[in-house]
Amino acid sequence: MGDDGVWFHVKHPDIVDVIVVGAGHAGCEAAWSAANRGANVRLITQNLDTIAKMSCNPAIGGIGKGHLVHEVDALAGLMGIAADRSALQYRVLNRRKGPAVQATRAQCDRRIYHMVMRQLLDTHANISLHQGTISELLFEGERITGVKDEFGVEHKALSVVLTTGTFLSGLIHVGEKTIPAGRSGDAPVSGLTDELYQREFNLGRLKTGTPPRLDKKTINWGVLEMQAGETDVIPFSCMHEKVTQDQIPCAITRTSEQGHDIIRANMSRSPMYSGKISGTGPRYCPSIEDKVVRFSDKTSHQIFLEPEGRDHHEVYPNGISTSLPVDVQWKFIRSIHGLENAVIIRPGYAIEYDYVDPQELKPTLETKKIQGLFHAGQINGTTGYEEAAAQGLLAGINAAAHAIGLDSWVPDRSEAYLGVMVDDLVTKGITEPYRMFTSRAEFRLQLREDNADLRLGDMAMQLGLYDSERKRTFELRRSKLDRGLKLARETVVGTGKLWAERLSALNLPAPAQAMNISSYAHRSDVDPINAMALLNMDGEFNTRDMKSLLALVHYDGYLDKQLCEIERFRKMEAECIPASFDYAQVKGLSIECKQRLASIQPATLGQASRISGITPASLTTLMLYLRKADAS
């Protein structure tokens, strides 16, 4: 700053292709995928020491979320690798259900996760890191040209990806206390919201929260139910064959009526119920205050005590997110079985932040109003590390495409949960923080964890995301599975003496009539793993390959039927609607339908069909008009 108090006009000496603002889970993946496509990337974050910080629970995966992690890995992203290298405990959820809805979850060491992410980013020749707080966006007309940081330095680029997390006008609430912050210990970002308002973006307010952290040494572990990790879990990344770390157990306890009474007696001091918080919170991850109010008939709620690292004593009590005053948090914590003498290391809190209506975005995650500006993560109204990472990866792919003249890409709902999520966001918008579930996908049998690489590997190679090692690993795995499924369909289990002896050696029943192995493995008295030994492929399949083959055999026949449904779906998706199409000219559409269609600007008839308020009759009218226009 000069003597007259005016900032000098400073420009960063290097112009880059893509700038990514924020280095959380969305930002890291955005920078990595853009760089993998050949773009020169600058990743700007407030604090280089908090890259990929796990602000809430240091866990990766879960129902729907684990599917996203596998898809990020299938597209050569970072999350699966970092989760595997930092894992403290693995579990498979929905183990008793079919392969399509089974999901992997890993409790991670938050410090190691950050270190792995930082190391990986540092190794990429196309990524440069920069510490700074972005206070302004730079434009030329309706095109973004860069950003300006708090020191007045202008960073020029052809594309910008905003991954601001909970930092946009972030406000922390602990009881009666309110603190401007992006998360505990970090300053909020205050200038960008005004800039987005000036550009007439539709913004809203959301909230999320986190529980207090406890000192492991002060918990009475001896009276708690312990939950061991599972050693037969397949790691997230296809570059890792098996789990190698020792598993650290978690523990389970429950809240009590005494604790609920403490909460009820202090509800007026909770900012959620005193009116201080206006943002909408996540329905599927409610605070303990919400649980006590909404489920008043329940006398207790389950709590998982999960370690946050191997080399320190911080414990995450999963299930009791709260914004109650600190003194109430102490009383409540000590009312819980096994926590009677527990010490709080960090208090829980709620945080409110701004988000931009995701209907402001194209499916590429580029904003409709500003060329070259992309949004990813919680700025789009989502919640969760996994949802953020997947969006970041897609935004990075397309920001690089915009900057250096490559093809953009958007997965559809039939090929990835990423496609389901993005379509939901840009087509339907949100009324609460969006969380991924397997129930959101129409084609769940196809969209399994085990086949994410098989679904997306060809596209990853086409986009230039795979190095030679990944390409070789993918092609070898695909050829093995193709051969395995072919053998399962063609090899017939006979009824003769030799077959009876072979089946008996594997503890398998003899069939009354000959049948192929694929059908035989469906019998309730047949162990499908033992049945696969009949294929004579010993040593060719690792555990990951066998899981995929078992899933293919399990759904054999059903998958073919769903492929027919997908074909019908893709025909509708292939009927494109011209950009900036004038819906006012379509006779027979109601005013409401015209307004909705003009607002969303669907790219295809398929997307138009999923817009709220668009009836089948309206869709038919639009389809006939478009086909008539094409014919003429």
Side chain identity, residue 397: I
Half-sphere exposure of 499 (CA within 13 A, CB side): 17
User: Could you tell me where in the chain the CATH 1.10.10 domains are found?
Assistant: 469-562
* Residues 45-74: tens digit of each pLDDT: 999 999 999 999 999 999 999 999 999 999
DSSP state of 566: H
Q: Are 355 and 378 in contact (CB under 8 A)?
A: yes
Question: CA 213 → CA 323, 348, 363, 440, 564, distances in Å?
Answer: 13, 7, 38, 32, 50
Half-sphere exposure of 474 (CA within 13 A, CB side): 23
Q: How far apart are CA 258 and CA 330, in angstroms?
A: 13
Q: How far apart are CA 137 and CA 149, in angstroms?
A: 9
Select from 80, 73, 27, 17 the least CA-distant residue to 52. Answer: 27
Q: Are 303 and 211 in contact (CB under 8 A)?
A: no
DSSP three-state, residue 219:
coil
Nearest-10 crossing angle of helices 257-265, 326-333: 170
User: Could you tell me where in the chain the CATH 1.10.150.570 domains are found?
Assistant: 575-631
Q: How far apart are CA 217 and CA 104, in angstroms?
A: 29
Task: Please count the other Cβ atoms lying within 10 Å of the Cβ belonging to residue 119.
Answer: 12
Q: Which fold has domain 469-562?
A: Arc Repressor Mutant, subunit A (1.10.10)
The residues that bridge with 130 in the sheet, in sequence order, are: 44
The residues that bridge with 306 in the sheet, in sequence order, are: 316
Question: CA 382 → CA 34, 281, 415, 432, distances in Å?
Answer: 21, 11, 21, 8
Question: CA 364 → CA 283, 348, 374, 431, 581, distances in Å?
Answer: 27, 36, 8, 21, 18
Q: Please list, in sequence order, all residues whose beta carbon lies within 8 angstroms of the beta carbon of residue 497, skipping any fewer than 6 positions away.
A: none
The predicted pLDDT at position 170 comes to 94
Answer CATH for 10-210+353-462 from 3.30.565.10, 3.40.50.300, 3.50.50.60, 1.20.1260.10: 3.50.50.60
User: Could you tell me where in the chain the CATH 2.40.30.260 domains are found?
Assistant: 213-349
Select from 117, 57, 51, 50 the least CA-distant residue to 85. Answer: 117
The predicted pLDDT at position 580 comes to 82
Select from 296, 317, 321 the least CA-distant residue to 253. Answer: 317
In 441-527, which ranges are E strands? 492-493, 515-516
CATH match of 213-349 with 2.40.30.260: yes
* Phi–psi pair at 400, nearest 5 degrees: -65, -40
The residues that bridge with 303 in the sheet, in sequence order, are: 253
For the beta sheet containing 59-61, the strands, ordered from the edge strand earlier in sequence to the opposite edge, are 59-61, 103-108, 87-93
Select from 344, 285, 13, 292 the least CA-distant residue to 156. Answer: 13
The predicted pLDDT at position 156 comes to 97
Q: Going by DSSP bridges, is the β-strand pair 134-140/143-149 parallel, antiparallel, or unpaired?
A: antiparallel
Residues of the chain with pLDDT under 50: 1-2, 5-7
Q: How far apart are CA 616 and CA 402, in angstroms?
A: 35
Per the structure block, which two tokens stand in for 381?
């109204």
Per the structure block, which two tokens stand in for 375?
């949004």
Answer CATH for 575-631 from 1.20.140.10, 3.30.1280.10, 1.10.3720.10, 1.10.150.570: 1.10.150.570
Straight-line distance from the first to the last Cα atom of the chain, in angstroms, rounded to the nearest whole number? 63
* H/E run at residue 608: helix 605-609
Side chain identity, residue 254: R
Q: How far apart are CA 334 and CA 267, in angstroms?
A: 18
Q: Are 97 and 63 in contact (CB under 8 A)?
A: no
Q: How far apart are CA 333 and CA 335, in angstroms?
A: 5
Select from 55, 23, 12 the least CA-distant residue to 120. Answer: 23
Q: How far apart are CA 363 and CA 374, in angstroms?
A: 10
DSSP three-state, residue 135:
strand
Angle CA 334–338–339, to nearest 5? 30
Select from 394, 380, 359 the least CA-distant residue to 434. Answer: 380
Question: CA 381 → CA 66, 281, 376, 384, 412, distances in Å?
Answer: 19, 11, 9, 10, 20
DSSP three-state, residue 340:
coil
The predicted pLDDT at position 1 comes to 46
Residue in the structure block whose two tokens are 């397309």: 398
Residue in the structure block whose two tokens are 């059903």: 558
612: left (phi over 0), alpha (psi -120 to 50) or beta: beta
Per the structure block, which two tokens stand in for 435?
């969380």
Q: How far apart are CA 187 and CA 310, in angstroms?
A: 28
The predicted pLDDT at position 539 comes to 77
Q: Please list, in sequence order, all residues whose beta carbon lies within 8 angstroms of the beta carbon of residue 224, skipping any fewer than 6 positions away.
A: 251, 252, 253, 305, 337, 338
Taking the CA atoms of 186, 188, 189 and 190 in sequence, report the sign of the dihedral they define. Answer: negative
Torsion of Cα atoms, 222 then 223 then 229 then 230, to 10°: 120
